[in-house]
Structure 1
Amino acid sequence: MAPRKAPDAGRRSDRSRRAIYDAALALVGENGYRRTTIEGIAARAGVGKQTIYRWWPSKAAVLMEAFLDMAARAAGQTAPEGDEDADSRNGGEYGIPDTGDLAADLKLVLRATVDELNDPLMEAPTRALTAEGIVDAALGAEFVEKLLDPQLALYVTRLRAAQEAGHLRADADPRTALELLIAPLTHRWLLRTLPLTHAYADTIVDYALGGLAPRP
């Protein structure tokens, strides 16, 4: 008789971790941040509460890691090994594309942002964590540090490259300039005043770049 193969503990842990991520995101979307509990996450994931506490110190830590994992998967994971530059040219986690056409590159990225914000799987947990981050300063700071700042840094890099190429006013502050692109999308999404569409994203880019174009 062939010997029985020992269970793969690493694979089992990965499955459990993924189940916990999915459960945390689902519950915070359904019930909100404050009504989501470690006990509820454990029950939904089919794991013991002690398993969660072994890996994370708090509910906030579970949700933050789950959200960051979801954002990473939505961004397309990573570039092919040894070709980070290709991912930068095509968009994704490593950077905003730089085709030489700033407007086209920004429209591509903002359209992808619109799709993410409109995705039901991302919208509910994003809204819940955004709202909780307003009243919970520590959670809000972690949300900004771990998720928002790395994404905004990609815009700064692309806008600085545009300045160096003469496609953007030399006196423009890239950090302020990116807010002209991001803030309108966020405002419309948060308030749900009007539909969030690709056409709106394109218009934002056109309006923003009209004010940022080099002046004689």
Structure 2
Amino acid sequence: MPATSPQPRRPRSGPRRDETARLAVLHAADDLLVEHGFGGLTVEAIAKRAGVAKQTIYRWWPSKVEILLDTLIEDSGKSLPVPTEKATAESIRGYLRGFARFLTRDPAGKVLLALIAQAQHDPDTAKSFHKRYLGPRRTQERDMLARAIEAGEISPELGPDATMDALVGPIVYRALTGASIPRGLVDTLVDGLLRPRAN
């Protein structure tokens, strides 16, 4: 019986993303947001800067908000990971200092601030923002606090969510209003809210 030659592999169909194009879109959205703000950011401009067709973007993302969320999730995962090692007051302090730098110096920090602002008057943005970014990150932050409490490193009076809100709220507020974030602010927040264990 003669051997049959294998059938040629059929090309995949459907909206399969090209990684180079995907990254080009994310970087273009990041850059254009910094240059023109949320209101001046358009899918047309992103497509032109990234060198892809507008139809390609709409096939992968339903809106510019979803593009920005992908940018934020990817960049913050690299630039601002939530500590997963032994949690201490100092590691939390370092995380918050990194958060302040992220908001004021990193282009992805501008994306976070823009999405916070947009979520205030767009329910769809708020829903997607909470589901895709704020919720998962808060879960990681809550775990960070829980591990530090269990280790006896900190003893906050507030619950974990209220504690994180009280820690990050002043930092976000100052960034949103264009004010500088003094190093002493983070120290005061950590010492007052977490009540670190005395060495």
Aligned partner of 2:67 in structure 1 is: 62
Q: How does 1:118-129 map to 2 (within 5 A)?
A: 118-129=104-115
Instruction: Note if contact 1:21-1:62 (Cα within 8 Å) is conserved in structure 2.
Output: yes
Q: 1:114 aligns with which of 100, 104, 123?
A: 100
When residues 120 and 177 of structure 1 are mapped into structure 2, their CA distance, relative to the original with a 3 A threshold, is closer
Is 1:130–2:116 an aligned residue pair? yes
Is 1:206–2:194 an aligned residue pair? no
Aligned partner of 1:27 in structure 2 is: 32
d(CA) in 1 for partners of 2:91, 2:154: 14
Is 1:157–2:143 an aligned residue pair? yes
Instruction: Note if contact 1:96-1:109 (Cα within 8 Å) is conserved in structure 2.
Output: no
Is 1:43–2:33 an aligned residue pair? no
Is 1:98–2:86 an aligned residue pair? yes
Amino acid at match of 1:71: S
When residues 197 and 96 of structure 1 are mapped into structure 2, their CA distance, relative to the original with a 3 A threshold, is farther
Q: Percent identity?
A: 30
Q: How does 1:142-181 map to 2 (within 5 A)?
A: 142-169=128-155, 172-181=158-167
Structure 1, unpaired ranges of 5+: 1-11, 76-91
Instruction: Note if contact 1:96-1:155 (Cα within 8 Å) is conserved in structure 2.
Output: no
d(CA) in 2 for partners of 1:122, 1:170: 30
When residues 162 and 60 of structure 1 are mapped into structure 2, their CA distance, relative to the original with a 3 A threshold, is closer
> How many residues get paired?
181
Where relative contact order (Cα < 8 A, 6+ residues apart) is larger, the structure is: 2
DSSP 3-state at the match of 1:30: helix
d(CA) in 2 for partners of 1:66, 1:119: 16
> Structure 1 length as normaliser, TM-score?
0.73
How far off is 1:21 after superposition? 0.6
Is 1:184–2:170 an aligned residue pair? yes
Cα RMSD for the two superposed structures: 2.5
DSSP 3-state at the match of 2:194: helix
DSSP 3-state at the match of 1:135: coil
Comparing 111-120 and 27-36, the one that deviates more:
27-36
d(CA) in 1 for partners of 2:68, 2:156: 41
